[in-house]
Each structure stands twice: as structure tokens, then as C-alpha cells.
Structure 1
Amino acid sequence: MKVIGVIPARYGSTRFPGKPLALINGKPMVQRVYEQVIKSKELDKVVVATDHEDIKKVVEEFGGNVVMTKTDHETGSDRMAEVTTKVDGDFYVNIQGDEPLIRPELIDALVQAAKETPDTVVTAKTVLQNAEDAENPNVVKVVTDKNGLALYFSRSPIPYNRSGKEVTYYKHLGIYGYPKEIINEFVQLPASTLESLEVLEQLRLLENGYHIKVVETAYDAVGVDTPEDIGKVEKILGGVKHV
């Protein structure tokens, strides 16, 4: 199985235009993500998928692989599907381009799970440490069956704890691995009812009968959504904030 790691790096962002090029302790974020991802032992190749020449130039300057994609993709999955037509592989891992602290061990765990359960999409979850996040609609929750397959994803707290017993909530992490055939079938499907209600693309997979294997990890994503988040990441890295 030839495994390709894909880092989407879109230039346009409502809250943070040009985000992939934002400097984190003097180094572009896209480079920090790339350098973390290539530490993975399970990936055969890593590429940055971008829609902007400035990002392409930066990636080439630090020696990374880059693929130009269309500017009008509605979702990250659509961009991934285009990559499959340009980079040969059997399995593609979509790694968020705004997580400079991504752990290569998590990527390896996803690929290993994929090898054990072929023809299945894989993703990840982690225990919610902050109880308030269970009520936060910006934090997506997931519940799984006894075999680790996703039952449902929601912005609401799931399961609903009517019993009052102690409950563990799991946060869904936005990293996905797809067999080539499934990602290309997926993007051809119309938006589903639950997907439209929750605004969660992965529900389209569940509604159409696809299985999603969910790997548990201790890693909790630290994403960069706004310029203010740069300082948080720099603090974690232990460096001095770059001006």
C-alpha cells in the first residue's frame, strides 16, 4: 500500500488570510507542519496541496513537494480528490495545514489502522479534558462502537447523559485517511441531510454506509485559526515570539 501524506494549504481565509505563510518563531507554518509530517515512518511521500503561487514558492524553497490545486474547491475533501489525480498512491492521509504541532506518531497510528481494516476511512479522537468543551459547538464530538467504528459525530454533547452517571466525551480530531477509491466516490455524493444540519462533512460518509475507524490518541490538536493563536504555539514550542 503506497501511502501519501497531503497537507492542504489554502491561501484564502476569512479570519487569517495567508495563514500557511504566517511565521512561527521565524519559520512559515506550512514548513513547520511539513517538517513534523515527514517524521512519519508510514508515509511514502508527503505533498503540500495549495492554490497559491506564493505558498508553492515557499514550499519549494525549503525543499518540500508541492502540488497546485484549483482555487474553487468547496471542501478539503475535494482538494484531496484532485491530489489523487496528480500523485500516485493507494491511501491518502489528509493532515491539517494549520497544526504545526501535529505528532508523526498519530499519523503512523492511522496508517497502521488502515492496513488492518482495508477499505475503511480512518480518523482520530481524544478524551475531552475540559468539560465545558462538551457544550461548545466548535468542538466536534464523536461516539464509537466496541470495534472503534464511528457511530456519529456531532457539535452537541454526545452521548446525552440523562442518567447522570460519569461520562467520557471524545473530541474528534480533523485528520483523515482515505483509500483512493473512497475519497473519489465520496466527493461525487450529494451533501447529506445530517451533514447539512450539523455542517460536518464526515456525516455524508456515515449516511452513505461507509465505515470510519476512529483511533484514540492522547494528542490534542493545537490549531492556528487566528493571528493570536501564533503566540500560543510559540509558547508551547518554548521559543521567543517572532516579531
Structure 2
Amino acid sequence: MKTIALIPARYAATRFPGKMMAVLAGKTVIWRTYESARATGVFDEVMVVTDSEVIFEEITRNGGKAIMSKREHESGSDRIAEAVEDMTDVDIVVNVQGDTPFTQKEPLEKLLKVFEGEEGKKVQVASLMQVLKEWKDIEDPNFVKVAVDKDFNALFFSRSVIPYPRDKAINSVYYEHIGIYAFRREALLQFTRTPMSPLEAAEKIECLRYLENGIPMKMVVTDYMGVEIDTPEDLERASRLLEK
């Protein structure tokens, strides 16, 4: 089963423009993400897919592999889907967000394992999540929350607090969605052929497109302790983490 990692990377991020080229302990965020994905050793190939010549040159100048997007795209999944259209020998595509410089091997192994065996044949899309414990993080719209069923299939994703704690006596578990997805190739291509859904447009969370079109998403719990770089404050947190 051929498995590749594609890292979508656009320069003009809304909350933190140019974040992919922000310097984190002497290296750019996008290069650290590329390095960490490759260092896990779980992929047959790792490539950055970008709309930016600056990012393209950053990766290729350092000896990495990058692809320039041919069109404008609404989401990272749309961007990597364009890149795999001609990759007919690929089975599983992992979308590693360009702002995740702490990508680790163990969570990725757990994510890919759900595609194995008879039960795994039913899985078309899977993603990672971790438990949120701090209420300030649970309330923060920059932390995308996910509610799951008893089999750990996603029920809903939101920037709001889900589940809402109307009954304070119930000790609810809150999960943060980590922006790393694994797709069967055909499921990814089908995603990009499907119009943006209303909930996806409202929340600006691309995986809602799957749920709105009746495609289950298997969620995998991890103890992932990295930092996603969404804001300048996240960059500072990441710098402190590297110092430790």
C-alpha cells in the first residue's frame, strides 16, 4: 500500500499572513514541517503543494520536493487533490498541514492503522484528535472541536464549544481536531469534485464537507503535544517548546 504525505501550503493565511515562512528557531515553519514529516519514516514520499513561489523555492532550495498548484483552491484538501490526480499508483494520501512543525511518528502510525484489515476497508477518511483540558482552549475558536460517536466516528466539527455544558454535573470530554487527515485516493478526489457545503462555509472547517455528504470520518485519539501555528502567539509557544 503506497502512502504519501502532501503538505498544502499557501502564503496568504488570514490570521497570520506569511506564517509558513515565519522563522522558528532558525528554520522556517514550512521547512520544519517538511523535515518532521519526512523524519517519521512512515511515508513513501513527502511533498509540499503550494501556490507560492517563495515557499516552492524554500523547499526545493533545501533539497525537498514541492509542486506548484495550477489553480486557486478553497481548502488544503482541494489543493492536494489536484496534485494526486495523475498519481495513479498512490493508495493513501495524508494531508499534513503546513503549520504543524512537530509532526511525530506514533500518531501517524495510529492514523494509518485504521485503514488495515477488513474493518479498515470501510474507512475512507480518518483524522487525529487530542483531549483539551484547559477551558480557555475549549472556548478559543482557533481550536477546532470535534464530537464523536461511540465508535469514534465524527459527529460534528465546530469552532464553538461542543458539547455545550448545559448540565455542569456531567464531566464532558472535549477533543481538539488536529489538522492531519488520511484519505483513500478516490475519496480525496471525490472531495474536490463536491461543492463546498453550507456548514463548511460557515465554520471554515473543510472536513464538514464529508459529514454533510454522508461520508463517515474515523477519528483517532493521540497524545500529540505539538503546536499548530495559527497566530503569532502560537509561534511564540512553539519557540518555547523547542527551547525545552
TM-score (norm 2): 0.89
Inter-partner Cα distance in structure 1 for 2:14 and 2:200:
22
What letter corresponds to residue 25 of structure 1 in structure 2? A
Unmatched segments (≥5 aa) in structure 2: none
2:191 is aligned with 1:190:
no
Aligned residue in 2 for 1:95? 96
Q: How far 1:41 moved relative to its partner?
A: 3.3
Q: Secondary structure at the match of 2:228?
A: coil
4+ runs of 1 displaced by more than 4 Å? none
Aligned residue in 2 for 1:146? 150
Bigger CA drift: 83-92 or 201-210?
Answer: 83-92
Kindly indicate whether the alpha-carbon contact (under 8 Å) linking 1:123 and 1:177 is maintained by their aligned counterparts in 2.
yes
Q: Secondary structure at the match of 2:115?
A: helix
Aligned length: 239
Aligned residue in 2 for 1:109? 110
Q: How far 1:47 moved relative to its partner?
A: 0.5
Q: Within 5 A, what are the aligned runs for 1:1-150?
A: 1-70=1-70, 72-87=72-87, 88-116=89-117, 117-118=120-121, 119-150=123-154
Kindly indicate whether the alpha-carbon contact (under 8 Å) linking 1:5 and 1:93 is maintained by their aligned counterparts in 2.
yes
Kindly indicate whether the alpha-carbon contact (under 8 Å) linking 2:9 and 2:76 is maintained by their aligned counterparts in 1.
no
Aligned residue in 2 for 1:208? 213
Inter-partner Cα distance in structure 1 for 2:217 and 2:92:
14
CA deviation profile, 1:89-113 (whole Å, cap 9, x unmatched): 1111111111211222222221112
Inter-partner Cα distance in structure 1 for 2:199 and 2:95:
22
Inter-partner Cα distance in structure 2 for 1:220 and 1:71:
34
Kindly indicate whether the alpha-carbon contact (under 8 Å) linking 1:40 and 1:108 is maintained by their aligned counterparts in 2.
no
Aligned residue in 2 for 1:156? 160
Q: Within 5 A, what are the aligned runs for 1:212-227?
A: 212-227=217-232
What letter corresponds to residue 200 of structure 2 in structure 1? E
What letter corresponds to residue 80 of structure 2 in structure 1? M
What letter corresponds to residue 222 of structure 2 in structure 1? T
Unmatched segments (≥5 aa) in structure 1: none
Identity %: 43
Bigger CA drift: 195-204 or 45-54?
Answer: 195-204
What is the Cα-based RMSD across aligned positions, in Å?
2.0
Q: Secondary structure at the match of 2:193?
A: coil
Kindly indicate whether the alpha-carbon contact (under 8 Å) linking 1:5 and 1:47 is maintained by their aligned counterparts in 2.
yes
TM-score (norm 1): 0.89
Kindly indicate whether the alpha-carbon contact (under 8 Å) linking 1:126 and 1:218 is maintained by their aligned counterparts in 2.
yes
Kindly indicate whether the alpha-carbon contact (under 8 Å) linking 1:173 and 1:221 is maintained by their aligned counterparts in 2.
no
CA deviation profile, 1:205-225 (whole Å, cap 9, x unmatched): 112111111000111441223
CA deviation profile, 1:136-188 (whole Å, cap 9, x unmatched): 33322112122211122122222233332212111111111111111111121
2:173 is aligned with 1:172:
no
| CA shift in 2, pair 1:155/1:115, >3 Å | same
Q: Secondary structure at the match of 1:38?
A: helix
What letter corresponds to residue 175 of structure 2 in structure 1? Y
| CA shift in 2, pair 1:96/1:112, >3 Å | same
Inter-partner Cα distance in structure 1 for 2:25 and 2:96:
21
